[in-house]
Structure 1
Amino acid sequence: MRIVILNDFAHVEGGASQVALSSARALAGRGHQVMLFAGVGPVSPDLEGIEYLEVVCLGQQDILADLNRGRALIRGLWNDSSGSAFREAMRRFDPADTVVHLHTYTKSLSSSVVRAALDCGFRMVLTMHDYFSVCPNGSFFIYPTQTLCPHTPMSAACLGTQCDTRRYAHKLWRVARQWTQEHRGRLPSGLHEFISISDVSERILRTYLPAGARVHRVPNPIAVPHEPPAHPDEHATFSFVGRLSAEKGPQLLAACAAKHNLPVRFIGEGAERAKLLEMLPEAEFTGWLNGVETRKALRASRALVFPSLWYETQGLVVVEAAAQGLPTVVPSESAAREWVEDGLTGLIFRHGDAEDLAEKLLFLRDHPDSAAAMGTAAYQRYWQKPATMEAHCERLEAVYVRMLEQGNGGLR
C-alpha cells in the first residue's frame, strides 16, 4: 500500500500540519511507501533521510504571506500549478494500491489537488481538522459579533452575513472559493471517505457531506512523556495556551481574572495581546513556548482554561493537560468538552458566559484539593487509553485498507 499525504505546509505551521507530518514519518516507519506532497516550504529537517518517505514541496508561498496579492487571490481560489504538479507526481502510482490523504489545502494547494486525484481515479480521504470543507470561513463563527453562526453554509442567510475577520468583500471572496471548491474541485461532493476527530465536529459537518459518505473516527495523536501527574493544588496560576485571537476567548479569561484578582498566564501570541495586556497588566505573557517549556508551565498551574468562543474541532491542548494531570475548564459548546467530565476531570461553563466561567475558576481557587482530585482523575482517564501515534497509525491503516478493499473512494 502506498500512502500520499497532502498538506499545505512541509513544516509544522499549526496543529493540523503537526498531525500530517508526524503521521507521514510514523507510517513510513511502519514500512509503508509514503509521499508527502506540500505547497509551502521549507521542508522540516525531521522529514529528511527517512526510509520509505518521499517529500515533494512546490516551494510556493502561503497565500496570506504572498506579497503579490493578485496571485494570492487567484491561487487561493484555484491553484492550477499545484493541481498540475500533483497530476504529474501521481503518474508513477497505481490507483489500485494508493490512498490519498488530504489534511490542509486552503493556504496554498487549493482544491485543485482534490480534482486532480479524483480525475486520475485515486481513492481519497479528508481529515476534517476544520470546517472549510463546507463553511466559507472555516469555523461556523461570526467574527464581528463573536458568536456562533446558525446559518446553513452558502444559503441566502449565509451570503448576507458579514462573518469575516476583515470586511464583507473578503467574505465574498471566501464564498467564491467555496463555490469553486464544490463545483470545480468537487469537495466535499466528490469524496466518499472522511475522518472526524470529535463528536461535535462530526455532528456539524455530517449534515453537509454527500449521501453515503463514510465517516471514520481517528482522534489526533499527542506526543507527551508518561511522567507522574502534576500537583495543581500546589500552584495558583490559571494558564491559557493558544493563539491570542478573539475567537479563542482569552479576553473572557482576562475579564474574569481582572474582576476577581486571579493570577493568569497566557502562553501564545496573537493580535489580542495588547488588549489583554491593557485589561490585565499583571498577567504573565510568555509568548510561544516549545513543547517541553509548555508542559513545564502547565505543570506549574492550578488549571488550564480553554475559553474558546467557536466550536473548535478537538482542542488538543485539553488532552495534553489531562496527560499531565491538570484539570481543565472548558465551554459547553466546544468540542473540547468531550475530554472533560464535569466535576470529575474538570469543569464545564456556559458558552461565552464570563460570570459562569468566574464561578468555576473561583471554585478551583478556593478548593485546591478538588483541583488536585480532578487532575488525578484526568490523568488516569487519559493514560488508560493514551492518544499515541501508534494507536493513530493503526486506525489510519484500518481506514486505508477498507478504502482499497471497497474501492469507490471518490464519488463519480
Structure 2
Amino acid sequence: MKILLVHNFYQQAGGEDVVFEAERSMLVAAGHTVETYTVSNDDLKHVPALKMAIRTVWNAEAARTLAELVRRQNIDVVHFHNTFPMLSPAVYQAVRAAGAAAVQTLHNYRLVCANALLYRDDRPCEDCLGVLPWPAIKHRCYRESLAASATVAGTQVLHRVFRTYQREIDAYIALTSFARHKFIEGGLPPELLHVKPNFLDEDPGVGSGGGGYALFIGRLTPEKGIRTLLKAWENPGHALPLKILGHGPLAPEVEAAARLSPGIEWLGQRPRSEVMRLAGEAECLVFPSEWYEGFPMTIVEAFAVGLPVIASRVGALPEIVESGRTGLHFAPGDAESLKAAVGSMTTEKRALWSAGARAEFEHRYTRPQNILELMSIYHTALQRKGH
C-alpha cells in the first residue's frame, strides 16, 4: 500500500508528534511505501494575520500541493494527524478528488471545540458540542482572542455547512470509546468513527520498582490537575514522596511547593531515557488530569514498565486505567481523594497492579497489535472511497 502521512507540527512538541513518527516507523517496518508531508507552526510568524485566518478556513495552496503529490506518487491512503491551522480542511477534498482515501486521527477535540480541549474555566466544557459555537467566540476560547476564536469557530461552521467532515473523510480514528461518543454528539457520522489507541513503538521492558516514590510526568498546566496534585502533598499523611517531571506555565507554583515541602521534588524536563528510568523505579504514576484527555502516551509508557497508575475519574481515564487491576481512580480535583488513593496502595496491591499494567501493555499497546488495527481501518476507508 502507498500511504501519505500528513501532519501540522505545533510550536511545542507533544504526544501527537510522537504518534506521527511511531506510526510512520510501524508502517515502513510492515513493508508499506510511506511518504510524509509536514508543516510547522513555527512558520506562522512569517504569515500576516489576515492571510493566516483565510488559510485556516481554506488553504487552496496546500490543497493543490497535496493533490499533486497524491497523483504523482499514486497514493492509496492519506492519513492526516493534524491539519490545524496551516493546512485547513480543504486538503480532505483535494486528496479524495485526486484518488486517495482520507483518514483523520482525532488526537484532540478541534473539530468540535475551538480550544480543542472541551475545557474552560477550570472545568470540562461541552457548551459548543453539537450546536453553533457562539460560546467559543463569547468566551474567546482560542488564545483568549476574539478574532482568533471567531476564525476557528467560523471554520467549524463553514465546514459543517459544506458537510466536509461527513463527505470528505473516509475514516476517523478516535483514541477511546469516550472520545468517539463525544465526536458523535458533536455531529460526526458514527459509521466513520473507529477506535484505535496509541501504542509504544519500542518495549522498554519491566522496571525494577521499589524506588519509594510517586511520579508525575507532564505539562505543568491547570487542566493537568497540578494544583490538586500539590495540595494532596501539602500534608500527604503517607510516607511516599513525589517527584514531578515536566515544565509549563505553573512551574513557579511547583517550584514554590517543592521548596516548602520535603515530600515534593521538582526535576523539570529530563531526557527520555531518564524519564523512563524514573518511571521504571517508581511505585506509581499519579495522573490527576481534570480535562478529557485524548490518549496519554505517559500512561502507555507506565504500563510498559509495569507502573500502576492512580488516575482521576474523568473522561476516558476510567476506560484506560482499570481500577483494581492496572491502578486506581480518585475524584477529579479532589486532593483528599487523591491522598486516600495513594495511601491505600499496599505492597501486595502494588504488585498486583504492576502485573496488570504490564499485561495490558502487551495485550493492547504494542506494534503488532496496532498495525493490525490500523490496516483494518485503512481497508475500510479504501472500500468507502471505492477502491
**Which band: TM-score by shorter chain?**
0.7 to 0.9
Pick from 124, 133, 136: which aligns with 2:111?
A: 133
- The AA in structure 2 aligned to 1:356 is S
Pick from 91, 96, 99: which aligns with 2:71?
A: 91
The residue number in structure 2 matching 1:14 is 14
Q: Please say which of residues 206-215 and 309-318 is displaced more in the overlay.
A: 206-215
Inter-partner Cα distance in structure 1 for 2:251 and 2:72: 49
Pairing 1:177-256 to 2, within 5 Å after superposition: 177-183=155-161, 186-188=164-166, 190-211=168-189, 213-225=191-203, 227-231=205-209, 234-256=210-232
Pick from 312, 322, 336: which aligns with 1:355?
A: 336
Partner-residue secondary structure (3-state), 2:26: helix
Tell me whether 1:150 sits opposite 2:126 in the alignment: yes
The residue number in structure 2 matching 1:266 is 244
Inter-partner Cα distance in structure 2 for 1:210 and 1:334: 19
Gaps (5+ residues) in structure 1? 41-59
Partner-residue secondary structure (3-state), 1:132: coil
Inter-partner Cα distance in structure 1 for 2:46 and 2:335: 38
The residue number in structure 2 matching 1:370 is 349
Residues 1:399 and 1:150: Cα distance change in structure 2 (over 3 Å): closer
Residues 1:329 and 1:10: Cα distance change in structure 2 (over 3 Å): closer
When the two chains are superposed, the root-mean-square deviation of aligned CA atoms in Å is 2.8
Inter-partner Cα distance in structure 2 for 1:166 and 1:8: 18
CA offsets 1:281-327 (integer angstroms, 9 cap, x no match):
24322223333211111123221011111111222211211221111
- The AA in structure 1 aligned to 2:322 is E
Pick from 58, 65, 78: which aligns with 2:58?
A: 78
Tell me whether 1:328 sits opposite 2:301 in the alignment: no
Q: Please say which of residues 199-208 and 1-10 is displaced more in the overlay.
A: 1-10
- The AA in structure 2 aligned to 1:342 is S
- The AA in structure 2 aligned to 1:162 is H
Post-superposition offset of 1:369: 3.5
Partner-residue secondary structure (3-state), 1:187: helix
Residues 1:7 and 1:390: Cα distance change in structure 2 (over 3 Å): same
Structure 2 contact 306–354 (Cα < 8 Å) conserved: yes
Structure 1 contact 189–210 (Cα < 8 Å) conserved: no
Inter-partner Cα distance in structure 1 for 2:138 and 2:349: 44
Structure 1 contact 151–158 (Cα < 8 Å) conserved: yes
Pick from 316, 319, 338: which aligns with 2:300?
A: 319
Inter-partner Cα distance in structure 1 for 2:385 and 2:53: 36
Tell me whether 1:162 sits opposite 2:139 in the alignment: yes
- The AA in structure 1 aligned to 2:270 is L
Residues 1:73 and 1:11: Cα distance change in structure 2 (over 3 Å): closer
Structure 2 contact 137–149 (Cα < 8 Å) conserved: no
Pick from 288, 301, 308: which aligns with 2:289?
A: 308
Residues 1:162 and 1:335: Cα distance change in structure 2 (over 3 Å): same
Structure 2 contact 206–280 (Cα < 8 Å) conserved: no
Post-superposition offset of 1:280: 3.5
Gaps (5+ residues) in structure 2? none
Aligned residues: 380
Residues 1:299 and 1:99: Cα distance change in structure 2 (over 3 Å): same
Post-superposition offset of 1:66: 5.2
Structure 2 contact 214–282 (Cα < 8 Å) conserved: yes
Structure 2 contact 105–173 (Cα < 8 Å) conserved: yes
Residues 1:73 and 1:66: Cα distance change in structure 2 (over 3 Å): farther
Inter-partner Cα distance in structure 2 for 1:242 and 1:10: 17
CA offsets 1:126-152 (integer angstroms, 9 cap, x no match):
11111112222211111xx21111324
- The AA in structure 2 aligned to 1:103 is H
Structure 1 contact 194–213 (Cα < 8 Å) conserved: no
Inter-partner Cα distance in structure 1 for 2:358 and 2:142: 37
Normalised TM-score (structure 2): 0.87
Pick from 327, 347, 358: which aligns with 1:346?
A: 327
- The AA in structure 2 aligned to 1:21 is E
Inter-partner Cα distance in structure 2 for 1:191 and 1:128: 12
Partner-residue secondary structure (3-state), 2:38: strand
Inter-partner Cα distance in structure 1 for 2:172 and 2:47: 34
Q: Please say which of residues 7-16 and 193-202 is displaced more in the overlay.
A: 7-16
CA offsets 1:98-150 (integer angstroms, 9 cap, x no match):
111111111422222123223434321111111112222211111xx211113
Pick from 279, 286, 289: which aligns with 2:267?
A: 286
The residue number in structure 2 matching 1:101 is 79
Structure 1 contact 3–35 (Cα < 8 Å) conserved: yes
Normalised TM-score (structure 1): 0.83
Q: Please say which of residues 185-194 and 102-111 is displaced more in the overlay.
A: 185-194
Inter-partner Cα distance in structure 2 for 1:354 and 1:299: 25
The residue number in structure 2 matching 1:380 is 359
Partner-residue secondary structure (3-state), 1:61: helix
Partner-residue secondary structure (3-state), 1:127: strand
Residues 1:395 and 1:62: Cα distance change in structure 2 (over 3 Å): farther
Structure 1 contact 230–326 (Cα < 8 Å) conserved: no
Inter-partner Cα distance in structure 2 for 1:326 and 1:212: 34
